[in-house]
Structure 1
């Protein structure tokens, strides 16, 4: 599987580096490069592209605005010369972002992520029930199912708590949406605001589920879960 890609950057030297790096990966097929965002945007409307490398700061139109304007978005990898930039990362759902000057090792990490994510999408999300992908902190994150302990809903966002991380992963997603991605025989909702990994349950007492990391309540509408779990 080859990913058809283009690169957009107003700096000719940056584009030459991208050409060189892309040529190092057999998984990538470079269709075109563009020094202005307008020409790149026009190409995207007329051609199928799997992966877009695009600079954020450009004079005619920013990379962020270009991506936001696309109806059929390819996978996006932003490139930037600024360490601190802020934009609607959740909305744009960028796969990754690379800080200039880009080194080949970091570039390879982003490409491997794109290849894995493309396989995940092309298989309708069925990867042997081993992982899910979510957008968080301006990039796509791969989460092994075995690492998920519980999930907490916070209005439009959810927190995914992992046994392998000190901090939860925050992503713009509903509880219903994430549960649709997870195998029903491994995860269940026990409260309006909580879902848990069944294998991580240590005990249930006084309508509270004790996990490895925390203790979460069982909601009134999910009381049958306790009876079924104890069978």
Structure 2
């Protein structure tokens, strides 16, 4: 049976794509036949043969991936998926996403699925939300959070909401930590959140170098994840 994780953020731009790509790349380097999956990509850009999902392009920069379908819906407008789909006159369908996921699950050992924005993101109107997809895939969450001031509230709310929904949380990864300029809040936030929620910290990722997802610049993404994520805890 294929294992997997669903990566969500405490908000938009927190580093889900960097974490997803880095996790897959690191797992593949360890001999795990892992792949990423981005069900819905908003803010895709026009290419010669159609819209290009930039997150998937970033995966390819970081990971040694075989050719495959790693994205179901690519939407041009950089908006919540439901609105971006409405503007494009596209209907995001749960069954099509599940079919694409099943196709990957038939070929790979582990799938890291990346969500869109935070936890409560609408995929189709207000009747099909991201938690509905997570439940359908039956995957544990990896929550990507910031380490800076304010993250206690954002992260604890995300954890508590996920737990109320009956979702399983594997752990939290804090992204963009700068040890050279870290405040006392940044240094202590992960421990405080772990004490409040009981959810373990899977890693504290330092600020990256030359990483620009939209420009396809991988920088030291893989190195950061390999060196700062507790893979024993993740895979246990």
Shorter-chain TM band: 0.3 to 0.5
Larger fraction in strand: 1
Structure whose CA Rg is larger: 1
Q: Give the TM-score of the pair, scaled to structure 2.
A: 0.38
TM-score of the aligned structures, taking structure 1 as reference length = 0.39
Which structure has greater helix proportion?
2
